[in-house]
Amino acid sequence: MSATASKPVYNRKNPCIARLARAYDLTGAGAPKHTRHYEFSLQGSGMEYLPGDSLAVLPQNDPDLVDDLLQVLGADGSEMVPGNDKAPKPLREALITDYAITQPGKKFLRAFAEKAGPESELAGLMEPGREKDLESYLWGQELIDLLMAAPSVKFELEELVGTLQKLVVRLYSISSSLRARPDQVDLTVATVRYDSHGRSRKGVASTWLAERIDESTEIPCFISPGKGFRMPEPEEETPIIMCGPGTGIAPFRAFLQERRATSAKGKAWLFFGETHSEHCYFYKDEFESYLADGTLDRIDTAFSRDQETKLYVQHRMLEAADQLFDWLEQGAIFYVCGDASRMAVDVDRALHKIVERAGGKTEEQAADYIQAMKDAKRYRRDVY
């Protein structure tokens, strides 16, 4: 039998059970957000990962929200309903562990609109061509809001459960290296909390991790491979430039731990951004130790709310345009991780500007240069 054949295979159907070993806040008191560091023990599981991989975590719903939902449904939770695997289980348990009960899915919306009747607002919004209107109507509304707003809409419990989607895993970029932290996997997670329609909302997985797990909780998880998001081999001279504002820092902490553990040769440059240097400089001491021992050659930080005007990672990149272009000319790989909707778009724009300005290229030539970087897999993105 080959060595790999005996390795355990973990996936959605057969998850690894990890346990919390340690967790602490990365954001200080007074920060405008709540981001936490988690360390999970993989002891005895044999689960392995590489820097650049993500951890898929299967969360549980908030029991308080489930109880509110049961009240709206007029149920006590002991009623038996089919679980995810069709086997009967008590409704309360099924709503906590098996089904998505926050953002309403299509099947639920269709059933709800049918019951509410053709004159209802939702039925109108479900007409073809009104997808954008439906999206803005639903923004910030959860299943419970729709049910509370229309008490005349009644579901049989089994029927309701039949319209719900499965509770699915959430992915988190792994922020540790197995070489540096054997039998351990670390995550860097922003807790999602917001208010809408007069209720406090909680992101399912991020608040499960932040509020309701302890050392005894079973954390079902498996590895989602990072595919193209990989480091050069340690003996390669290839420089790396890592741009990771916010939780986007996660895979780069893994990269740096791995670089130290393997005495990686190429140069490394990190861009990190958050709101305030005082209470949001994640892993500051660790990164400074990497600078001190040469694991990291340069770190540029952008704290967006430390001054009047916003300062972002792409502004720091533009300030260092000449050096950054030099690194690209030396064959550097450019990595970016974090917010897809705004940050990664602006960082991409900045990269084009840098190649234009520092490289003396036209807009078109810069676009070709960056396309060539992508083709050579020297521009790698892990954005969400």
Ligand X SMILES: Cc1cc2nc3c(=O)[nH]c(=O)nc-3n(C[C@H](O)[C@H](O)[C@H](O)COP(=O)(O)OP(=O)(O)OC[C@H]3O[C@@H](n4cnc5c(N)ncnc54)[C@H](O)[C@@H]3O)c2cc1C
Ligand Y SMILES: NC(=O)c1ccc[n+]([C@@H]2O[C@H](COP(=O)([O-])OP(=O)(O)OC[C@H]3O[C@@H](n4cnc5c(N)ncnc54)[C@H](OP(=O)(O)O)[C@@H]3O)[C@@H](O)[C@H]2O)c1
Q: Which positions lie near ligand Y, rule CB under 6 A?
A: 33, 35, 190, 192, 194, 245-248, 273-275, 304-305, 310, 312-314, 338-339, 342-343, 346, 384
- Using the minimum distance from each CB to ligand X, give the nearer residue, 77 or 203: 203
Residue number closest to ligand Y, CB atom: 246
Out of 139, 154, 263, 372, the only residue in the binding site for ligand X (CB under 6 A) is: 139
134 binds ligand X (CB under 6 A): no
By CB under 6 A, which span of 182-190, 256-264, 274-282, 359-367 interacts with ligand X? 182-190
Quote the least distance from Cβ 80 to ligand X, whole Å.
27
Nearer to ligand Y, 91 or 350 (CB): 350
Residue 140's binding partner among ligand Y, ligand X, none (Cβ under 5 to 8 angstroms by kind) is: ligand X
10, 99, 108, 172: residue in contact with ligand X (rule CB under 6 A) = 172
Task: Give the Cα separation of 58 and 36 in Å (integer).
Answer: 18
- Nearer to ligand Y (CB atom), residue 108 or residue 312: 312
Residues of this chain, 88-107, that bind ligand X according to CB under 6 A: 102-103
Asked if 37 is part of the footprint of ligand X (rule: CB under 6 A), the reply reads no
For binding to ligand X (CB under 6 A), which residues are involved? 54, 102-103, 139-140, 170-173, 188-190, 192, 194, 196, 203-206, 247, 250, 382, 384
